Structure 1
Amino acid sequence: MTPDVLATLQQHLLQCLASPPSEVRRLLHGRGRCWPGLEQLTVDWLQGTLLVCLYRDPGAAALAALQDSLHALTRQPQWASSGAERLLLQLRYLADSPALWLHGTPVQQCQVSEQGLHYLLDLGSKQNNGLFLDMRLGRQWVREQAAGRRVLNLFAYTCGFSVAALAGGAQQVVNLDMARAALSRGRDNHRLNGQPLERVSFLGHELFRSWGKLRKLGPYDLIIIDPPSLQKGSFVLSQDYPRVLRRLPELLAPQGLVLACVNAPEVGTEFLLHSMAEAAPSLQFVQRLDNPPEFADRDPQCALKAMVFQAPAAQG
């Protein structure tokens, strides 16, 4: 990161802070390769906390220069007027993703809002904070589709889709994720929004051993599949995604919808289209959801793929 690149970063952040978003939002998505020199940097506005994530080691001198630039940011009038209180730099290229608190009192959690819904985020203690901001329009779509429907949320993580589905009037939501701690945070998110937990199930199970349980709780009018690209020992996208798709016909109600997601730059839309055609040919492609404009990518095939498919109507 050259001085010119750091000056561009600071100028952009000052413009954002001069009129900060009213809810949680990405401010700079360098990984979309639309910001020359900042390809391994992202900046998120967490409503009082500025989270800067660095995904590649820039070298000691460049890292020190970045920290100096961020410190300087906190001394500008735009920082104070924005209501920002904390600045956190997370080194995602290191094994434990350590966090450096550059400004403000360190805290373990913060609460953010998105489209009127509330979520608890972790700060500085985990690789991911608990809410993937690029899925904002996906959560909005689920909320718009959920009324009266039974929803299955696979790889549920902290249950953001489930919160959105309940807000949209879902009849029942089943969340499945092998990480029980993430599901516990999902319960917290539902409680935070005053949502009835009797309409939500939390299954801390390994998916490929749970098909029988899921069939008994179905059928489902809407299934969400948002897996990790690679989860060591449990999920390899190229091998295991088709195994999930193959089960969809036995889980879906007639005309049920599927939101199938992939967020791996090396995997384009053809992967999902081809895999669905091979594994569940009765399901028809409907649309690819837009990504939030703040997640612009030089190559849309490298960005998040959130694609909708639909089961056929009942026969007879």
Structure 2
Amino acid sequence: MLASELPVFFEEVTQQLTSIPNEIRRLFHGRGKHWPGLEQITCDWVQGQMIVNVFKSVDDEFLQTLKVGLDALAQSELWQKRSGSCIAIQHRYQEGAPTEVLYGELDSRPVVIESGCQYQLDIGRNQNFGLFLDMRLGRNWVQQRAQGKKVLNLFAYTCGFSVAAIQAGACGVMNVDMSRSSLNKGRDNHRLNQHDLSKVSFLGHDIFRSWGKIKKGGPYDMVIIDPPSFQKGSFALTKDYKKILKRLPELLNEDGVVMACVNSPTVSPDFLIESMQLEAPALEFQYRLDNPPEFIDVDESASLKVMIFQ
């Protein structure tokens, strides 16, 4: 990355910080390759805390220029106006992804707001802090359509889709993820929003060994599939995704909808459309959801793909 391009970074961060609502947001997304020389840096606003992620090793000039600019931002009128409390850099290229606090004190477990829902984050201990910000419009889509619906949330992680669905008035959600610790965080997210947990179930099992239990909870009006691109020993996207699609007809109500997601830059939107035609031809492709504008990408086929089928 190029230290000479950091003024562009700060110009964009300042512009976004001036205009965003009082919610969690990505301020700068270099990984979409829209900003030459800044491809390995992102910046997130965590409602008072600014978390800058650097994904590859940089030279001393880049790091020092970045720190000087962040220090200047912390002294600015805009920072005071936004009630800024902390600035930190997470060095994602180093083992353990250590977090370096430059200003203030880091609240590693903040509660944030997105579209009226509250989420508990965990900053600095893991590479992902508990909410994928590029999926904001996907969660909004669920929130706009889930009222009165029975929802199946596969690869639920910390249950962001589930929170959005119950907030909208879904009659029930089944969350499935092999990580029970993630599901426990999802349960906490529902409690934060004072949701009726009798409407929410949490299945901490390998999806491919749990079809009987999953089917028993159906049929579903909405199925959400948001898998990792690769999970060692449990999920390989291009091979295993099709196994899930093949099961959809027996899981869905007649008018059921499917949100199928892929976040691998090497997998195109056509993969999902063609795989669905092959494995579950009764489900027709409807449209692809837009990604949040702050996640600008020079190659739309490489960015997050959220596809709706019915």
What TM-score range do you get, normalising by the shorter chain?
Answer: over 0.9
Cα displacement string for residues 179-203 of structure 1 (whole angstroms, at most 9, x for unaligned residues)? 1111111111111111100000011
1:225 equivalent in structure 2: 225
How many percent identity over aligned positions?
52
Structure 2 residue matching 1:247: 3-state secondary structure: helix
2:180 equivalent in structure 1: 180
2:151 equivalent in structure 1: 151
Q: CA deviation at 1:20?
A: 4.7
Does the aligned pair in 2 maintain the 1:33–1:39 contact within 8 Å?
yes
Counterparts of 1:12 and 1:293, CA distance in 2? 13
Counterparts of 1:241 and 1:85, CA distance in 2? 42
1:272 equivalent in structure 2: 272
Q: Does 1:139 align with 2:139?
A: yes
1:111 equivalent in structure 2: 111
1:313 equivalent in structure 2: none
Counterparts of 2:284 and 2:42, CA distance in 1? 35
1:314 equivalent in structure 2: none
Does the aligned pair in 1 maintain the 2:150–2:173 contact within 8 Å?
yes
Structure 1 residue matching 2:273: 3-state secondary structure: helix
Does the aligned pair in 2 maintain the 1:27–1:43 contact within 8 Å?
yes
Structure 2 unaligned spans of 5+: none
Structure 1 residue matching 2:238: 3-state secondary structure: helix
1:84 equivalent in structure 2: 84
Q: CA deviation at 1:296?
A: 1.4
Say what the alpha-carbon RMSD is for the aligned residues: 1.4
> May I ask how many residue pairs the two structures share in their alignment?
310
Counterparts of 1:136 and 1:18, CA distance in 2? 20
Counterparts of 2:224 and 2:2, CA distance in 1? 42
Structure 1 residue matching 2:110: 3-state secondary structure: strand
Q: Which letter maps to 1:280?
A: A
1:246 equivalent in structure 2: 246
> Which segments of structure 1 move beyond 4 Å, counting only runs of 4 or more?
none
Q: Which letter maps to 2:302?
A: C
Counterparts of 1:58 and 1:105, CA distance in 2? 25
Counterparts of 1:296 and 1:138, CA distance in 2? 16
Q: Does 1:130 align with 2:126?
A: no
Does the aligned pair in 1 maintain the 2:218–2:251 contact within 8 Å?
yes
Q: Which letter maps to 2:262?
A: V
Structure 1 unaligned spans of 5+: 311-316
1:164 equivalent in structure 2: 164
Counterparts of 1:97 and 1:3, CA distance in 2? 21
1:13 equivalent in structure 2: 13
Deviates more, 1:127-136 or 1:104-113: 104-113
Counterparts of 2:233 and 2:282, CA distance in 1? 31
Q: Which letter maps to 1:225?
A: I
2:48 equivalent in structure 1: 48
2:263 equivalent in structure 1: 263
Counterparts of 1:217 and 1:211, CA distance in 2? 10
Q: Which letter maps to 1:25?
A: R
2:308 equivalent in structure 1: 308
Name the TM-score, length of structure 1 as normaliser.
Answer: 0.94
